[in-house]
Structures are given as structure tokens and as C-alpha cells.
Chains A and B, each alone.
Chain A
């Protein structure tokens, strides 16, 4: 459903301000900067996961303590009760935010899960940006049959129900992984969900880029360059791309946020990051069954996911405002 936002911002006229000006403006927008900082803190915490695991919690994300106990003397209790209910937050270094039904430390898994979710999100967003730019620029610059073919391809991807496509490919690939010639990716690798999510979001970015390249191409200096005999690659590199930069800057956070959300949705269904490896999505999915007895299983990863996405979107809103302060971005479905 967050695809709505992507679709809404798309296909607008080009941003008013160039990317450098945009970035300078957003630096003066305090709430946006605050959001950006929160996001960086989240990323830093997740990167520091191994430190926390080895020095404070003394347990890894997949280390199980199913039959173990915690505490001593009269306060000793099972980490997972005999009927399968895990303990809640202890607010100490061991099991800071409680345990999961397999006796694993929730906070450690939260941090490692964040690494997985963020890694998939970033890789997917990178894939989307690169591929969408290539497709959008080719379609917009070369036009003719190149554009016809690419535009139909984008239509096809646009029409396909996004979540179903991702689930379908994810299920198939999770079963066996893929091997393209010499490249073999196992079913459990993080590259698979990243690839799927990255590809699925391409039309949302390729269409606005295509539209923008159409109008850039009409400009006089492009015509002049072509008349002078400059090759298309040079023109694209020197003239087209810099004008696209501000659009990309505005879109990047949105794509990142949507990628993280889609990864969580796929993992929730079991076709993203594969068990036993944690991701915020599969932690939420596992927690739903226990929601009445051990609500922290759902609340903790949900809070982390929402905080992360809110901070990205907050910064993104600031960027959009800085790029186009008078709100002249047109809103159209396609």
C-alpha cells in the first residue's frame, strides 16, 4: 500500500532546485535533519550488533537456550516455560528485551534482524535506482521502438500485483535458489529477496525518470550537442544525468523505505529472509501467534521497523520540500 506514495510523487515535472541546492536547503530543516539522525543511529546500532552480542548479551542471534534457566536461587525461572511461553524483557544485559519461543535473545535478534532488513533494503534500493535509471534514460532518450518495448515492459511489471509477484518469485527461489550460468545463489542468501524487491520497484522510478528525460531531451543544448556529433553516451553522462540527480535524490529515501517495508512483508510471510536468520519481518510474523501471551514478540520488532521507516520518510519529506518548495510537483497516476 505504500506503493501509493511512490506512485503519487512520480511522473512530476522536474524538481525546481538542483541537487546541491536541495541538500543545502534540507540541512536547514531541523525536523528533517532530526529524522535523518535517528535513522543513522538505528543503522549504527544494527552495525554494532556483533559487539553487543559478544560483550553484553553473550549469545548470538541463533543461539538457543530453549531448556535453560535465568536468574538464580528463588528467582530462577525457565527462559521458555514448559508450555512454550518465553520470558518478557528483563532489562538486564542478558535477554534485555526478553526471549523468543526458541529461547533466543530478542534484542540481539532485533539488532541482527535490523542488519538483514537494512542490508536487503539498501541493496534493493540500489538495484532499483540503477536499473530504473538505465531503463528510464534509454526509453526517454532513444525513444522510438526502444521506448515502445521498454514502456510495455514497465506496464507489465506495473500491472502485476506487486506483493503476489514478490511472493511467487520468493517462494520459488526459496525452494531452490537460482543459478545463472556460473553464478549460483543459494536459497538462504540475502541477495534473493534484495533482487526481487529491487526489480519489483523498477517501474515506480523508471516511469518518472522516463518522463523527465523526455523533456530534458527537448532542450536546446542537447540538440546542439547532438548536432556537434557528440555521442549519446557522452550526452547522457554530461547533460542528462546531472539534471536527473535531484529527482533521484528525492526518490531515493522513498524507494529505500518501500524496500524495507516490502522486505518485512515478505519475511512476515516466510519468503524473504529465511529462518532461522532474523529479520524484523519474520520476527513480527512469528510474534503474531503469541500476541496474547507474549506481546513483546510483536511490539519490539514493529517498533523498530516503524521507527526506522518513519525516520527515512521524515527525511524524505524534508528533501521533497527542499527540492520543490512551492509544491509544484504534479500528481498523476502514471
Chain B
């Protein structure tokens, strides 16, 4: 058990290192992406460009640049090419918005998918189920940014009942924090809850055939109560692991498009801006941070799963 945990952690560290190397190489391959040229601005002379190159170490071999960058990342001093801001500090500033977004979206997601999935399974085959199935289908076929753009138009620009952009800290103004995040939460939650509801429904219907459920029914409990009290817990286990991954992706700045549309200035928006500006240091740091979040959460989830379900032993690990 402990050995497994150690193996996972070592493997994860390797993966993170590989992620950093891969990212670095991708951006080294940019044609005409010489960062010295970009920093020199519109009126640059060859001397200016050479001076920048020397000052930033762009004339060193690639492996040396990579190691220098890694060192600066780990001691927190790495700065971006475009505005010379400290990248780690910038990411920290974006964290409140991203974390708020992630947590709220997960809560909403859990509420919607459990409700829809349970009702769907309890009324399996009937009209309610069919309607909810179609709804879930449309839900998970619609990209979050489409949902976001539509509800932004309806509730923000047309009806003016919700703000159209920005993030307000929860400590500063709790109600504004809520209203500014409500539309992004909905946009993120709907597609994933469509999928989760379907999965939960399938899982519930599968577990309902188990023996312990038959016992409960024999004891005289109604189908719905059986479903909720006995079956739900078991059926939720696989979903929880998925949600863990989802949460990790959101934390790691995965909600790029939503953060951009709603101007939340979170980690995802910072990532999107950096990629479009071809600004390597923030991209590198955010990618590693995002991969780290995914790796940590998937390891946690796997460990939890292995603990909960003894059938899974890690031979194929």
C-alpha cells in the first residue's frame, strides 16, 4: 500500500519533469518567436536586440536556458518576457478567482447531476426520464463557452440582471462575488453535469440489481427511498473520482475560455493571454502547475479508489 503510494509519487514527479521539458521544447520551436525581438519593441535596433539577448541569456544553449528557467521557477523569481512581472506572484493573484470558480462549479455540478441522475434512474423508462435524458444529452454536447456566451447575452446584456464581467473578492463584497460568478458557474457546470447525470443513472440502474437492494425492497421500502439510501452511495464512488479530475483541471487553469469570456482574471485567463503573446515563462509555470494539480488529484483518487474497492489491485498500474 505504502509502496504503491511511493511508486505513484515517483512516477508523478517524472511526469512533471517531462511536462516541463515538453513545454519548453514546444516554444523553442516557434519560428520567428525570438523573445528578444518581441521585447525590443517597434523601434528596436540590432544593438538593442543583442543587448536584450545577452541580458536574458538567450544566447546560451537550450539545455542551459532550460535549467536556468527551472531554477528560477523553483526559487520563485521567474519573470515574464512581456511585462517583466513576477510570474508566481501573478499566478497567486489569479488563484482566488480560479479557486472560487472551480469550487462553485463543482458544487453546482454535484447538485445538478445527482438530482437529475437520481430522478432519471428512479423514473427509468418513463417520460420524465426521457426528457431528462435528452436534456443531459444536449447539455454535454454543448461546449461551455457556447453556454457562457448565451447566458451572458440573455442575463447580462439583454435583461441586465447579472453583471457581465469581472471578479470581486469574497472578502470584499460577498454578494457581488456571488453574482459575478453565477453565470460562469452555470456555464461550466451544465456540460459536465449532463455527462455525470448519465453516468450516475447507468451506475444506479446497475447497482439496483444487487442483492442488498433486493433485501431492502423486500423490507418494504419504496423504490425511490431504496435508491437514495442504499444505492446512491455506492453509485457515487466512480463519479467522485471523475469529479476529482475535473476539479483538478479547473484548478489548474483549465477553464480558459470561460475565464476569458467573463474577464475573471484567473489563472486560465493568464494562461490564454500568455499563450497568445507567446510568453514562455508564464506558460511553463502554469502548465507545470496544472499538470501538478491533475497528477496529485488523480493519484489521490486512485489511492482512495483502491482503498474503497478491493477488487482493483494494481497489477496493470
Contact = CB atoms under 8 A, between A and B. Distances in A.
B32 A328 contact: no
B224 interface: no
A331 B276 contact: no
B149 interface: yes
A257 B203 contact: no
Interface stretch (B177-185, B191-199, B210-218): B191-199
A284 B32 contact: no
Interface string B289-310: 0110011001001100100000
- Give the bracket for the number of chain B residues in contact with chain A: 35 or more
A299 B146 CA distance: 9
A127 interface: no
Interface stretch (A46-54, A81-89, A152-160): A152-160
Interface in B211-241: 238-239, 241
Interface stretch (B66-74, B166-174, B251-259): B251-259
Contact of B149 (A3, A257, A284): A284
B129 interface: no
A310 B138 contact: yes
A175 B142 contact: no
A5 B140 contact: yes
A309 B245 contact: no
Interface in A259-314: 261, 264-265, 268-270, 284, 287-288, 291-292, 295, 298-299, 302, 305-306, 309-310, 312-314
Contacts of B283: 164, 168
Given A161-B253, A284-B145, A152 B195 contact: no
B246 A1 contact: yes
Contacts of B257: 163, 265, 268-269
Q: Is the interface of A mostly helix, strand, loop or mixed?
A: helix
B29 A333 contact: no
Nearest to B188: A1
B138 to A, nearest CB: 6
Contact of B278 (A171, A314, A329): A171
B294 A314 contact: no
Q: Is the interface of B mostly helix, strand, loop or mixed?
A: helix
Contact of B291 (A4, A161, A306): A161
Nearest to B23: A168
Nearest to B146: A302
B182 to A, nearest CB: 18
A211 interface: yes
A164 B275 contact: yes
Contact of A160 (B137, B153, B261, B291): B291
B294 to A, nearest CB: 5
Contact of A168 (B32, B275, B294): B275
A327 B206 contact: yes
B30 interface: yes
Interface of A: 1-5, 7-8, 152, 155-156, 158-161, 163-164, 167-169, 171-172, 175-176, 210-211, 214, 257, 261, 264-265, 268-270, 284, 287-288, 291-292, 295, 298-299, 302, 305-306, 309-310, 312-314, 317, 326-334
23 contacts: A1-B249, A2-B140, A160-B19, A161-B249, A161-B287, A163-B254, A164-B287, A168-B275, A171-B30, A171-B275, A175-B33, A176-B31, A210-B316, A211-B316, A268-B257, A298-B150, A309-B141, A313-B141, A314-B137, A327-B202, A327-B206, A333-B244, A334-B302
Given A161-B249, A295-B153, 9 more contacts: A8-B195, A159-B19, A163-B254, A171-B276, A257-B141, A269-B256, A291-B157, A292-B157, A306-B141
Closest 4 CB pairs of A and B: A176-B31, A331-B238, A309-B141, A333-B241
